Amino acid sequence: MKVPKGIIFLTIFSVFVCRDMKAQGWQIINSGTSASINSMCFVDTSLIFAAADTGKVLRSSNGGITWNIIQCGTILPLRGVSFVNKDTGYTVAGSQLLRTSNSGLNWMTVSSFYGNCYFVKFFSKYSGVVITSYNINFQYYIDCYRTSNGGNNWNSSTVTTGYLSLFNNVFFLDSLYGYIAVAYLMSVTTNGGNTWSTHNIGSNNDESYIYNFVSPDTGFLVLKSTNINVQMTTNRGSTFNPIYQTTAYNLYAGYFLNQNTGYIAGVSGPILCTTNKGVNWITQYPASIPNGLSRMLFINERLGFTFGAHGTIMRTSNGGGLFIGITQNSSGIPSNYSLYQNSPNPFNPHTKIKFDLSYKSIARISLFNIQGKEITILVNNEMDAGSYSVDWDATNYPSGVYFYKLTAGKFSETKKMILIK
pLDDT tens track for 204-219:
888 899 999 999 999 9
Most confident of 10-14, 145-149, 164-168: 145-149
- CA–CA separation, 158 vs 153, rounded Å? 17
pLDDT of residue 167: 58
3-class DSSP state for residue 292? coil
Q: 185, 136, 120: which is closest to 159 by C-alpha?
A: 185
- Buried b / exposed e over 16-30, threshold 16 CB at 10 Å, is eeeeeeebbbbbbbe
Q: Where in the chain is the domain with CATH 2.130.10.10?
A: 27-316
N- to C-terminal Cα distance for the chain?
Answer: 70
Contact 405, 353 (CB under 8 A): no
- CA–CA separation, 395 vs 224, rounded Å? 27
- Considering the segment(s) 326-419 as one domain, its CATH architecture is Sandwich (2.60)
CA angle centred on 383, ends 377 and 386, rounded to 5°: 110
Contact 45, 63 (CB under 8 A): yes
CATH class of 27-316: mainly beta
- CA–CA separation, 174 vs 51, rounded Å? 21
The torsion angles phi and psi of 309, rounded to 5 degrees, stand at: -65, 150
Q: 145, 142, 144: which is closest to 154 by C-alpha?
A: 145
Mean pLDDT of all residues belonging to the chain: 87
Contact 73, 56 (CB under 8 A): no
Whether the per-residue pLDDT at 396 is higher than 80: the answer is no
pLDDT of residue 32: 95
Could you tell me the pTM of the whole model?
0.76
pLDDT of residue 326: 73
| pLDDT digit string, tens, across residues 263-293 | 999 876 688 888 778 877 877 886 666 568 8
Q: Where in the chain is the domain with CATH 2.60.40.2550?
A: 326-419
Whether the per-residue pLDDT at 10 is higher than 60: the answer is no
Provide long-range contacts, Cβ within 8 A and 24+ apart, for 339-346. Answer: 339/404, 339/406, 339/413, 339/414, 339/415, 340/415, 341/415, 341/417, 342/392, 342/404, 342/415, 342/417, 345/417, 345/418, 346/417, 346/418, 346/419, 346/420
Whether the per-residue pLDDT at 224 is higher than 50: the answer is yes
